[in-house]
Copies of this chain bind each other. A is one copy, B any other.
Amino acid sequence: MRTEIATLGEFGLIKHLTEGIEPKNASTVYGVGDDAAVLSYPDSKQVLVTTDVLLEGVHFDLTYVPLKHLGYKAAVVNFSDIYAMNGTPRQITVTLGVSKRFSVEDMDQLYAGIRLACEVYGVDIVGGDTTSALTGLTISITCVGEADPDKVVYRNGAKETDLICVSGDLGSAYMGLQLLEREKSVLRGSTDVQPDFSGKEYLLERQLKPEARKDIIQKLEEAGIRPTAMMDISDGLSSELMHICKQSNAGCRIYEEHIPIDYQTAVMAEEFNMNLTTCALNGGEDYELLFTVPIADHERVQDIEGIRLIGHITKPELGCTLITRDGQEFELKAQGWNPLK
């Protein structure tokens, strides 16, 4: 079944895709259907705005990414940015550029993923723009969220002796990508290796259906811990840590042995003959939280499941250093995902 998008037209398609959307948040006054969405935030909140674009052929490959997963991910990566400010995502606008290759049913799948993510995270779709494109698929999502003014966490607040923490594990989404790329080669007949995903489901899920760490933000709040600096890890730990250090005018020391890595990630790195630590440092798309806390919070943060201490903040002149398992010291380099290289 394939319905051409042209049969619905722009307004028909938007109506079709946004049918039955009911705002869940008190701050959503008016959603889809006018020149702009109307939101109402109380004085006591600051408004957070972030935006992320995904372009076919650059950020995703539809030969192995299902459209529903893509929609889910496109929304979640924006939520992740709001959580990384210690905020709560509330609304998104969805902008799509769609070539003739795509049908109404394709858009249904994509939107099903976006709507599912919004349901899971309690976010309202309040508007957007849908247009044809000469080639490919463009998904640009803007997310609006809220935070208590005294609780917003920036990247620039890390202080000397602060502890550096990460949630979850790193490098698994990158390994999932390697797996999928190998599968694609197999489908093209350019290699003899047969794809076998059994026991590797976690890696695929990390790549195809990442989650934003709302749970970690809640746990930190419950534990009364306010990070001094925070960001989400989308381009790789090295790159993000260097952002925090640069913006905080600080240095850091992190320890290879403390970087959290899942067993499956390690197995795959071995299989692909890749350096495991390099994958964890530069892999990207983890959507875990990287944050710093005062040393006084040491015990409280250590007690939280899913958070790992990987090092500490230093004076700026000491630079950003990785201490390997055998005690060697290396300067961290941002070799992660760079969409403009």
Contacts and interface: CB of A to CB of B under 8 A. Distances in A.
A278 interface: no
A49 B126 contact: yes
A339 B132 contact: yes
A71 interface: no
Scoring A10, A43, A142 by chain B CB atoms within 10 A of each residue's CB, the highest score goes to A142
Contact of A9 (B49, B58, B126, B341): B341
Interface in A229-256: 230-232, 247
Contacts of A10: 338-340
B34 A39 contact: no
B46 A43 contact: no
A36 B81 contact: yes
Contacts of A143: 36
B127 A50 contact: yes
A73 interface: no
Contacts of A134: 55-58, 135-136
A277 B232 CA distance: 54
A37 B55 contact: no
Interface residues of A, number: 73
Nearest to A341: B6
Interface of A: 5-6, 8-10, 13, 29-30, 33-43, 46-53, 55-59, 81-82, 84-85, 87, 91, 93, 95, 97-98, 126-136, 138, 140, 142-145, 147, 149, 152, 154-156, 230-232, 247, 338-341
A51 B131 contact: no
13 contacts: A30-B154, A34-B231, A35-B82, A35-B231, A36-B82, A43-B43, A49-B127, A51-B129, A53-B97, A58-B132, A130-B339, A130-B340, A135-B135
A186 to B, nearest CB: 24
Contacts of A29: 46
A340 B13 contact: yes
A244 B34 CA distance: 10
Contacts of A154: 30, 34
Contacts of A132: 55, 58, 339-340
A146 B135 CA distance: 36
Contacts of A6: 340-341
Contacts of A232: 35
